[in-house]
Amino acid sequence: MRAIYKTLGSAAGISILAACTGGQAGIEPPSTAANVQGTSTLQFRVGTVNWRGLATFTNTVVTFRQPNGLSATLYNSPTITGPAGFVVPTVVPTACLGTSAATTASGAGTDAGTANISSTQPTQPGTTAVATTFAQVGGAFAYGFAPADSTTGGAALYAGNPAGRLFATQIGTVSDVYPQPIYCSSTRKLPYVLAPPATTPDFHNPALGFPGGFIGYDSGFMTFGVAPVAGSYALHLTVPSATIGVNSAVFDQTASITTTTPMATVAPVVIAEPGGAGTAVTFTVAPAPAGATSQVLYVVNQSTGTYFSFNAGTAGGVFSLAAANFTAGDVIRAYVAAANWDIVGDGPPANMSTAPPLPTQTDVSLSSLTSVAYL
């Protein structure tokens, strides 16, 4: 009988051992979590937009970064609340309606007619989500708002990912980038993507191994087709958790527009092939308007979907792209943004600080579009 007890004792001992070593669902594999609330930094600024000399809209700049300068989270839900008098349009503003004669909804969803530019909180899949400006895809990232809240589809979402969300009606084939200004007609929106030679390395070189289809970096600003109103703007940003309705972190920032007078208008870009057909293309940028501290030239070969940009400086000048970047018949488009902060210098990959320097009010002036066919 003693032997039976010994045997049973051994079995019991092993049972305890098994319990101690776990083996159940809750502890395998172990997982550690970042302190998003404690380590992330949110910056928010507002200002004015001189849109092609046709209208004055509202500009925003946001940075939401980890200590290493990367985007703080891959998913968050921002909401901007403007001061009294700030009203999100119900229809596309006339100035940026484009060729459409009919009244067109602004796409603001339930934000229309309110002082809120909001996003939609996560909802149970299969249920209808409330339509808002940012919807469920828009969030704040390292440098600007972007439709890049990660999904469960598995594809990496970055600017230009062919597998990502597609905004086919815009210039070229642009995905995972907001064309601006928001609330304007799609034919009047443009993507402001920073690309070589303004940024390095030259990700157009396939040997460097940049993700397929990557078109460039954000410019940090997000413009809305809403008339600016002086006053305080609040950004409320929530980071969701796995449980719908429960946030893992909440951030709040405020910013102010002290003057609604916009920066002067930026002249359109002049595109030329001074060497004749099939040669290098030049882009002439006029000096930036007063108040601007930086100026960026954006160039798109719409036929190939290739993006370029130049840090044009306040003096402007002539910038050139080699003939190798084009073939006859390619549609080349160029436009300029002048701002009172360093558009290129504050954004990744150049600036990976937690909180890049920004002025109290961020104003920007956007040129009209110049488009030619390569000879």
Tokens of 156: 């990496």
Stretch that binds other proteins, among 241-249, 250-258, 322-330, 358-366 (CB under 8 A): 241-249
Stretch that binds other proteins, among 74-82, 84-92, 282-290, 293-301 (CB under 8 A): 74-82
Residue 218 within binding range of other proteins, rule CB under 8 A: yes
3-class DSSP assignment, residue 199: coil
- Residue 258 CA to residue 362 CA, distance in Å, equals 11
Please, which residues bridge with residue 231 across strands?
257
What binding mask, one character per residue, do residues 279-318 give for other proteins by CB under 8 A, x or -?
----------------------------------------
Interface residues for other proteins in 11-40 (CB under 8 A)? 11, 14-15, 17-19, 21-25, 27-34, 36
Residue 106 within binding range of other proteins, rule CB under 8 A: no
3-class DSSP assignment, residue 277: coil
Phi, psi of 364 (to 5 degrees): -145, 150
Contact with other proteins (CB under 8 A) among 54, 87, 91, 129: 129
**Rounded to 5 degrees, what angle do the CA atoms 208, 334, 198 make?**
35
Stretch that binds other proteins, among 53-61, 67-75, 224-232, 265-273 (CB under 8 A): 67-75
What binding mask, one character per residue, do residues 35-64 give for other proteins by CB under 8 A, x or -?
-x----------------------------
Strands 364-366 vs 41-51: parallel, antiparallel or unpaired: parallel
Nearest distance, CB of residue 170 and other proteins, angstroms: 18
Nearest distance, CB of residue 132 and other proteins, angstroms: 15
Q: Which of 63, 20, 115 is nearest to 342 (CA)?
A: 63
CA 325 from centroid of its chain's CA atoms: 26
26: how many CB neighbours lie within 10 A of its CB?
6
Widest CA span in the chain: 105
Q: Among residues 151 and 371, whose Cβ is nearest to other proteins?
A: 151
Interface residues for other proteins in 249-268 (CB under 8 A)? none
